[in-house]
Amino acid sequence: MLIVDANIILRLILNDNEKMVNDARTQLLSNTFYIKREVIAEIVYVLAGIYKTERLDVGKALLELLDTEGIIVESDETVRYAINTYQIQTLDFVDCLLNAYHKVEDENIYTFDQKLLKLLNQFT
115 and 91 in contact (C-beta within 8 Å)? yes
pLDDT recorded at residue 28: 85
Question: Low-confidence residues of the chain, pLDDT below 50?
Answer: none
Sign of CA dihedral 108, 110, 112, 116: negative
Q: Is 116 a member of any domain? A: no
pLDDT recorded at residue 14: 95
Q: Is 110 a member of any domain? A: no
Q: Is 70 a member of any domain? A: yes
Q: Is 112 a member of any domain? A: no
Domain that holds residue 42: 2-89
Give the C-alpha separation, 97 to 100, whole Å.
Answer: 5
Element (H, E) at 34: strand 33-35
Q: Is 123 a member of any domain? A: no
pLDDT recorded at residue 44: 98
Closest C-alpha to 86, from 74, 69, 100, 76 = 100
Give the C-alpha separation, 124 to 121, whole Å.
Answer: 6
User: How many structural domains is the chain composed of?
Assistant: 1
pLDDT recorded at residue 1: 78
pLDDT recorded at residue 122: 87
Q: Is 121 a member of any domain? A: no
Q: Is 33 a member of any domain? A: yes
Q: Is 32 a member of any domain? A: yes
pLDDT recorded at residue 119: 93
pLDDT recorded at residue 95: 97
